[in-house]
Structure 1
Amino acid sequence: MNEKAYLKEIRKGNQEALNAFIETLYPSVYRYVFCKVSGKEEAKDITQEVFLRFIKQIHNYQSNGKVLAYLYTIAMNCCHTYYRKEKRFDYTELNDEISKDDYNLSEDVLHTLTFEELRLCLQKLPDKDQDILIFHYLKQMTFKEISQITNESENTLKTRHYRALAKMKKLIKDGDQHVS
């Protein structure tokens, strides 16, 4: 079943379609959220919140693009809300939930750092820098697709991407990525 068919059935109240829809998209949303919060329970809670918000507003949702892009937008906002409420950034709580194979970064970076060190560096970046790197490398999205999620121009995203990579290089060079 394609996205439009799922949405049509879900709007009719078809529980099986809703379950299949969530089962299909949940892993992608969860992996994104987990990269942002680094706690399994927090990631599960936030991912559930993403789908609850989507379901609450499904009758108002206009399918102009991919549903997954819209879910990523909700997830991004939920993560930002989570950090505003918590007002904490726990850089030491690292989990192995996402395998190294989920990242498609250049070989030299992967050989230089352990996976945990790479995640730690990423989490030290500002939210918008984290988002661009996660969407581009983890989710293998184009700048055009990321633009639809963040509502920023492709050129702005390319500039942010370049600067985020420069910040990552500096963190790596300065040795700030090591897990304590």
Structure 2
Amino acid sequence: MLIILQLLDLVKKAQDRDEASLQAIIKNFEGFMYKTASSIYINGYEVEDLLQIEATALINAIFKYNCEYTNAFTTYATTAIKNALNNELRSYLNKRNGEKFEFSLNNTMDEDTEFMDMLLSDDNVEEDILLKEDIRTLRKALKSLPDNFREIICWHYFKEKSLKEYAEFKNIKYSTAKKRHARALKKLKEIIITISK
């Protein structure tokens, strides 16, 4: 990230319609935007679609930002980017009129084990999820996961890609991907149990 004063100078120039400064700011936030876009799943959206939404939010933030503010532009911009994605997700869910994600807790893993089977316990988490807050609970639990755990869960169950593909994509060993996947499921189960109480 650019130092605060240098970034603020670019913001001022961009507000004066300097295209080079605008592009420099966008480039500065590319890494953050890609990471944020990759951490969210909206059915039917590609990462590129989410990046476009983020870029639009960033540009709006640049022109709305008051350079006299004491808070850093970085905080203002990252908040605007996150809010844009959250609003898009909220809009998508509203359009579906409360329908569930096109993701089933009965999706199978490589070993023909259902996702829900990995979450079952003596506390009957399955019944709690289905009878209480179902998708809202799952969505809240996924949001609470660390980024790398949420990424592998979304990759394997929402995008329905294999752990082998994930390992290749992340340039890690397959065994590492399997361990991360197992830890992610364990953590997700713990969060769901906590939320469902």
TM-score scaled by length of structure 1 = 0.48
Which structure has the greater CA radius of gyration?
2
With normalisation by structure 2, the TM-score equals 0.44
